Structure 1
Amino acid sequence: MAWETRFSLEGKKALITGASSGIGTSIAQVFADAGADIAAHGRDKDRLAQLGTEVQALGRDFAAITGDLADAEETALVAARALEVFGRVDILVNSAGIALTGPVVDYDLADWQRTLAVNLTAPFILSRAVLPGMMERRQGKIINISSQTGVIALADHAAYATSKGALNSLTKSLMTEAAPYNVQVNAICPTVVLTEMGKELWSAPEKKDPFIERTPLGRFGEPVEIADMALYLAAPASDLVNGAIMMIEGGYSSI
């Protein structure tokens, strides 16, 4: 099999959450370029429309889906809509996430609950919805966009880190149930990525500089770098990779 074929998503149907911004947008663009039809979930209808124009220009089918992933019923409808439009979901990318930071002693319980709902419960609901079809077809990929803070400690990120650490555990648990059906489930754990959210949270030099100094590579990540790893995990090239927690953080957690 040629390398182009091993990294091709030709004919695949992908559901990507959080696709109207940041990492999710980049993943949708890279997947479409690799041949996939895209069901893109997001909150910004205008940005979804722009993404749809880009995807369709590549000759791929596109569906825009909105819904609040903090609401379990709306989350279930996101999956139902993708299945309705495309008939199946071959690749699920749980990219949507929120980061409501602050010290634990002052942290609002509602922010804690919303963080867990979006970052953890929504991927569970979406995975539960698409797994039966993947298992029946004996083929499928689930990719969870986690964070290095799901592995290492970071001040003022208790809710976010907890949600991502639990998402890593969910990834492994789903893998044990899905692997016998030739379905791969993996997680990507990036460093700070220079999305709009990343720039907003990490623009202050007193916060940014010590973090970059602690990172052997000496920089933050770009959205396309995470999208490229997602492409690998979505493509046939990674069929043996299962239950992996893929660190993409410039060496931060290695020292």
Structure 2
Amino acid sequence: MQSVDSSISWENVTRLDGKTVVVTGFASGIGLAVASQFLSAGARVIGGDINEAKAVETVESLRKQGGVIDYLPLDLGNGTSVDRFVDDAMALIGGAPDVIANVAGLDRAMPFLENTPDLWDLLVRVNYVGPVRMIHRFLPAMIERRSGKIVTVASDAGRVGSTGETFYAGCKGAIIAFTKSLAREVARANINCNCVAPGLTNTPLFNAIIPEGKLRDSLLRAVPFKRLAEPVEVANMIVYFGTPAANFMTGQVVSVSGGLTMHG
């Protein structure tokens, strides 16, 4: 009988002991759940967020669950802030992170013809250019080390479109295409790039855009499970992509949408 290699047991391939993870938007919503789950998997977390007061409070709370977590200010819409975050994170870590989880995002729900160029500029900087700039800065050290995992967070709006989120959907479609293309470029350096596309999720951002009412009820009727995702349910897939369990996956986009969007 063939023996089972204990080094590839489920427990071993889902642990991240001794690894360092950068999580953007970690102070609330999906980002908070991602930071918490990475800590549970044994990783050290460097959290970036634009909301300093909330971030400091979050760090204090997460430290109580055990593990090491630090906060560095980050505004993905500001290139100088992104560069400073990368420099400070690499100084704190002593090199590149093992995993980059870009979770932070920004949305505004309104008809496309009510958009303004200023809004376009803000959405594209936070949802696309900022994350790309951050990855671009971290990547040389990851390539030199010949290891690393990059996880981007898009949206099912970027896969199938969403009324009232047209430009946002365009930004998320761009991050999907970027992730797939980057995956091809860096596979030779043993770096994985994958993307998670959440559907309707119970986050402060979603609740601010779609408050309780007829519109939300209508959206939920379209979800086979008839409910919103909880942030941790999305976080679990993001964290999975950061673990050795996903070593042979790259260039993938996985929807966590309760079946709202099904792709063959």
Q: Does 1:23 align with 2:25?
A: no
Distance 1:108 1:71 in 2: 19
Find the aligned partners of 2:27 and 2:62 in 1 and give their Cα distance.
13
Trace 1:100-179 onto structure 2 (pairs within 5 A).
Answer: 100-179=108-187
CA-to-partner distance for each residue in 1:21-74, whole Å, 9 max, x for gaps? 111111001101111111100122232223322443354332211132111121
Q: Tell whether 2:55 aligns with 1:48.
A: yes
2:80 to 73, 91, 100: 73
- Which stretch shows the higher mean deviation, 148-157 or 58-67? 58-67
Matched residue SS, 1:251: coil
Task: Confirm or deny: 8 A CA contact 1:189 1:245 kept in the other structure.
Answer: yes
Q: Which of the pair has more CA radius of gyration?
A: 2
Q: Is 1:219 aligned to residue 207 of structure 2?
A: no
CA contact (8 A) 1:63 1:85 kept: no
Q: Give distance in 2, aligned partners of 1:86 and 1:54.
A: 22
Offset at residue 185 of structure 1 (A): 0.4
Percent of pairs with identical residues: 28
Deviation for aligned residue 1:137: 1.6
* Cα distance between partner residues in 1 of 2:41 and 2:68: 13
- 1:105 aligned partner, one-letter code: L
Is residue 246 of structure 1 aligned with residue 254 of structure 2? Answer: yes
Q: Distance in 2 between matches of 1:50 and 1:33?
A: 19
Alignment size in residue pairs: 255
1:36 aligns with 2:43: yes
- Counterpart in the other structure of 2:217: 209
Equivalent residues of 1:101, 1:159 under 8 A apart: no
How far has the Cα of 1:253 moved from its partner? 1.6
The aligned amino acid for 2:88 is R
Q: Distance in 1 between matches of 2:147 and 2:74?
A: 27
Q: Would you say the 8 A contact 2:37–2:239 is kept in 1?
A: yes
Distance in 2 (CA, whole Å) between partners of 1:33 and 1:51 is 15
Any gaps of 5 or more consecutive residues in structure 2?
1-7
For residues 46 and 71 of structure 1, the distance between their equivalents in structure 2, rounded to whole angstroms, comes to 19
Corresponding residue for 1:84?
A: 91
CA distance in 2, matches of 1:218, 1:10: 37
- Are 1:6 and 1:236, in contact at CA under 8 Å, matched by a contact in 2? yes
Q: Specify the alignment match of 1:3 in structure 2.
A: 10
Q: Deviations over 1:164-193 (max 9, x none)?
A: 000000101110111111100011001111
Structure 1 partner of 2:3: none
Partners in 1 of 2:92 and 2:231 — Cα distance? Answer: 27
* Distance in 1 (alpha carbons) for counterparts of 2:250 and 2:13: 17
TM-score w.r.t. the length of structure 2 is: 0.92
SS at match of 1:176: helix
Counterparts of 1:84 and 1:166, CA distance in 2: 30
Deviation readout 1:189-243 (Å, 9 max, x if unpaired):
0111101111122224221122111111211111001111111100000011100
